[in-house]
Structure 1
Amino acid sequence: MSKKNLIIIGTAVVVLIISYSLFGSNSDEDSPITTEVIKGKFINEVIISGEAQSTSSKKINGPINARRFNIYQLKIQDLVAEGTVVKKGGYIGKLDASEVNGKINDAMLSLESAQSKYTQEQLDTTLTLKQERNAIKDLLFNIEDDRLELKSSIYEAPTIIKKLEINIEKNERDLKEKKEDYSIKKRKAVAKMVQVGTEVSKIKKQIDELTALQKEFTIYSEDAGMVTYVKDWNGVKKKVGSTISPWEPAIASLPDLTKMESKTYSNEVDIRKIKKGLPVKIGFDAFPEIELTGEVTDVANVGENKRGSDIKLFQVLIKLNETNDNIRPGMTTSNRILTEEVEDVLMVPLEAIFTKDSISYTYVKSGYSIQKKEVKLGLSNNEAVIIEKGLKENETVYLSKPEGLEEKSITLLDN
């Protein structure tokens, strides 16, 4: 091809482009948009976002016996980052032990006081019983001395002998009473020592229990897994600075990543379409390339108000049929719940349907003319509607009202 011919062809193309830009685009802008009636599978889906969570997880608890020592609020002092993979026995976090440390110090002071009291009681008892034993020995010595004197006084006057006998009898009676007193005082001293000793043992046991409790303030994992934070009663995740209580002792959890579900909430309109057993396709915002299948396992019968909103929402749980190593609890999910599916039906976009006096109709291209035809509608979704009667496959319909046809009569369906 010669250079001259190439120039001619190029010039012609440029002219056509300029002509189209000047005249053709205005014509397209003024022309109503049309589409064809198609036949195929109608799908109705409810699309709602949710949050991935494990259906089975093991709670990692702080000390559960703290309330025995009147400790009810435990502040989280340290906590590993959420998503940390730990081995069995791995470090999880630490609680503020200042309160239990204070109780240990108080118990140590009480123990010192109790031990001092025990020692004092022991000395007092030893001294008292020693005095009693010495008094008994003295009486025994006096009785023996009187008996010897009586034996050597056989030639003394009867009054003297009688006096010695009375003295011996009196000392023997005193000895008997002294022995009884000693027995009573000894039992009393033993009881007192047991009481004081029990107090010492009690405080020692308390210190041992508090020391064991103190060790529980450093928390380790009982199993291997990935750490996830638990939520408080108000839905806020517990973290450093949060508190736990003996009634809600969980500081974190180890979810079973092989058993996952998506927790989501539906509005009052869509909840009517959602039933148990419906199939779901689940996507993940963090990994757009991943799509898993699932199934609706639970639909709440009672709505609830989410924080900061007066709108009633209904909880829906969706079980994941498959697992993926990239999926983690807390990830945002996009759930497409298939509520209806119909094969081989005629469909048009919602924009092609117009209404007048409760009659649904559409603008249909018929050769060089346009008809307004009544249609019978079936199920619809956010994009299309099923045509049960009034149109045929591949017919051309308008997505906006053509100008000048507002007063044109509607061709009604045959009853």
Structure 2
Amino acid sequence: MTTTETKSRARGILQAALRGLGLALVLLPGAVLCFTLSLVSIALIPIGVGIVTTPWVLTGVRAFANWRRVIAAQWGGVRIPPAYRPIPKDANPWTRTFGMLRDPATWRDLRWLPVDMTAGFITALLPAVLVLYPLEGFALAAGLWRTMTGGPYGEYGPYWYGFVPVSDQASALGAGALGAALLFVAHRYTVSAFRLHFRLTQALLTPSQAELAERVRVLTETRRDAVDTSAAELRRIERDLHDGAQARLVAMGMDLNTIEMLIEKDPEAAKQLIAQARKSSVDALAELRDLVRGIHPPVLAERGLGDGVRALALRLPIATEVTVELEGRAEAPVESAAYFAVSEVLTNAVKHSGADRIWVDLHHRDGMLRATVTDNGKGGAVIGAGSGLAGVERRLGTFDGVLAVSSPAGGPTMVTMEIPCALS
């Protein structure tokens, strides 16, 4: 193993230990709190209090579970798809409560919480133990055992390090040897132990066959929405052609007929009509170009998604920084969906966020095309019926993509879009 590989492995081991320790410290109180509040809130449903509190509590449980899905994907390379049934945003508390309780994903989350606070806590903490516990053995061997054993009158007895009773220097060296053995185990298995935690989470949070069937139903609906959207888009194109370019071309034809009659009788009037016809032709050409750009921008077809989004950013009135890490191109329908999704999010940011700076990040990793749009505006963006973000969610759903929005009051707003695809 080269020096570079050794440093990389050591960095990975230390990273797994620190991440596992941090995750363990957060997940234990989080899982206990979510599980306790869920039990109490559901128990209070018969007296009416739970009708109001349960949707809020279960929404918190889902947020906690979704955060763990994100951590599993980013830190462990383990993708855990959510399969929650949609709940109308304007539903009353009764509908929201029993809609969420009838969702199998809710009970899957609640079954996962007790395991997460026990076995999940242990598997998250294990990498840190494998790395840090050997240090105590080395410290005992170096002389720390003298402060840990005996006591003023010998009443403490030996100090146990693992299965080694430490009472003198010889046994302390034995503790150091055990620490060295544990460090070897840590070198071999720390990263694997950290991944074990995410495999456990995946096993408990992965949707069942019934939930996958529900997912198929949702995808069928999104496909139907896509067909309806395509039909509406065709009607829009027809309307734009009829009211715009077509009307101008008809007017040009009438002008040319008039010019033909006036060319000899009134040359000055004919010249004015020629200038008017020329202007109409320029306007008609501009409208046709705008129409084509709205259907499929030429820069997207010719140069790909990265340059297409860069071109979008150049036309915005807000300073926009675009970062692209794409080692190839996705299929044309996927590129088009991603382009128009980013375009819609950027339009929302310009219109509603009050931001003075926007960042766009495009990259492809683990079979996912991910686009993130962040602004430093006032926040408060939500995915609601009739909003632009709801349309983006439907557009992505056609390709089994997902949309996530983080927009606390006061900002910043981060909109993340993911579409599973391969790059050519």
Q: Please indicate, yes or no, whether the TM-score normalized by the shorter chain is above 0.5.
A: no
Higher RCO, 1 or 2 (CA under 8 Å, sep at least 6)? Answer: 1
* Structure with more of its chain in helix, by fraction: 2
Provide the TM-score with structure 1 as the length reference. Answer: 0.24
Provide the TM-score with structure 2 as the length reference. Answer: 0.23
